[in-house]
Amino acid sequence: MLVAEPSSFAARLKELREAAGVSQYRLAQLSGLAKQTLSQLEKGSNDPSWETVLKLAKALGVSVAEFAPVEPQTPDPTPPPPAPKRPRGKK
């Protein structure tokens, strides 16, 4: 599994932290990371290691998959072809 690019990781980390209702300081305590490190991660100025992602996921009570980039689903502009018509048999 790939970790989200720094900018999307940063935005997702902040979103998850705020959804959990914790401050950067509290998340730093819960995860064992320095508050400065957490701040840099949320700004996107620092790339997270896999170990860091694991610590953050555990501290936030989420799966590491929550940090994966989520791409919006766009509808396919072409409609599906019509279903083939079945020949009717004689009764």
CATH number at residue 51: 1.10.260.40
Of residues 85 and 43, the one with the higher pLDDT is 43
pLDDT for 70 equals 62
Q: Is residue 50 part of a domain?
A: yes
What letter represents residue 48's amino acid? P
The whole-number pLDDT of residue 1 equals: 46
Asked whether 32 and 47 are in contact (CB, 8 A), the reply is: no
Q: How confident is the model at residue 72 (pLDDT cuts 50, 70, 90)?
A: low
40: containing domain: 6-62
Asked if 66 and 12 touch (Cβ cutoff 8 Å), the reply is: yes
pLDDT of residue 6: 46
- The whole-model pTM stands at 0.69
Report yes or no on 86 lying in a domain: no
Q: Is residue 82 part of a domain?
A: no
pLDDT tens-digit readout, 14-26: 999 999 999 999 9
What's the number of domains the chain is made of? 1
> How far is CA 79 from its chain centroid?
30
In a domain, 54, yes or no: yes
Per DSSP, 81 falls in state P
* E strand map for 1-91: none
Determine, yes or no, domain membership for 89: no
Structural domain contains residue 79: no
The yes-or-no verdict on residue 83 having pLDDT over 80 is no
What is the average pLDDT score of the chain?
Answer: 83
